[in-house]
Amino acid sequence: RATCRASAPIVRLAGVHLQPKLNLAPPRGPRRLEVCSYGAACYRRNPQHFHECFHPSLLPPAPDCASGCGRSAASGFKTCCKQCSSKPPNLDILVPAKHASLSGTWKPVPGRMVRGSAVWHQEGGRGWLWKGSVWLMAMSEDKVGGSSGVIAQEGGSARSPHLVEKWQVAGDDGWQSLPGLTVKVDAGHVASTHDDLCNTRDAREAELAKNADDILRRRRAGSKPAGYE
């Protein structure tokens, strides 16, 4: 192929040095389906209709973003966008019982990581949060990176602390379950750290959710949606 532009090539092969002559038309490009004009209210069951029109409302919802922002994850990823996952959120943590002093706002420590995960420090307090073999909380910085603390994730594995389902606390009789401990993503993070594509996808998801709610409301009211056949 490297000699195809030579003035006198040794050989001339169709498809290599020369454009082949074909008697067949090139294959058709992929067909883009039009979105059904009835949207989520479409009640048609004719297979031909589904061959002609695309129905976004029939796609299963994407899993939630692992960063806890409340949006759905991008296709093939655990988070909604790189901008969201690159900025660990502030956390609002509520701790019951004798460790209630650990309650409050926790902020990620800039540039500090343990095992590839962010480290959080309690604002105006002594608490530290990091991921060892599990998520751990301690009352002193020298514990960060170790495998011991006063509060720990109970079983399972979670990508972020707000995704932990159960916590346990160290006591005189060993580890005990700690119901009532909650870890939530600060509301300000949800609205401020997303790129344009993520915003567009979120708006589309919100529109699909709104359409689904409208369908349920009409069904409860006994009205017949448009597009019924």
pLDDT of 186 > 60? The answer is yes
**Bridge pairing between strands 53-54 and 91-94:** unpaired
Cα dihedral 95/98/100/106 (nearest 10): -70
Q: Whole-model pTM?
A: 0.59
Beta-sheet pairing, 91-94 with 182-185: antiparallel
* Chain segment 135-176, per-residue pLDDT in tens: 999 999 999 999 999 999 998 888 889 889 999 999 888 999
Taking only the tens place, the pLDDT of each residue in 16-45 is 545 555 566 556 666 788 888 888 778 888
Distance of CA 74 to the CA centre of its chain: 6
Q: In the 8-state DSSP scheme, what is residue 78?
A: S
The angle at the Cα of 141, spanning 138 to 147, to the nearest 5 degrees, equals 55
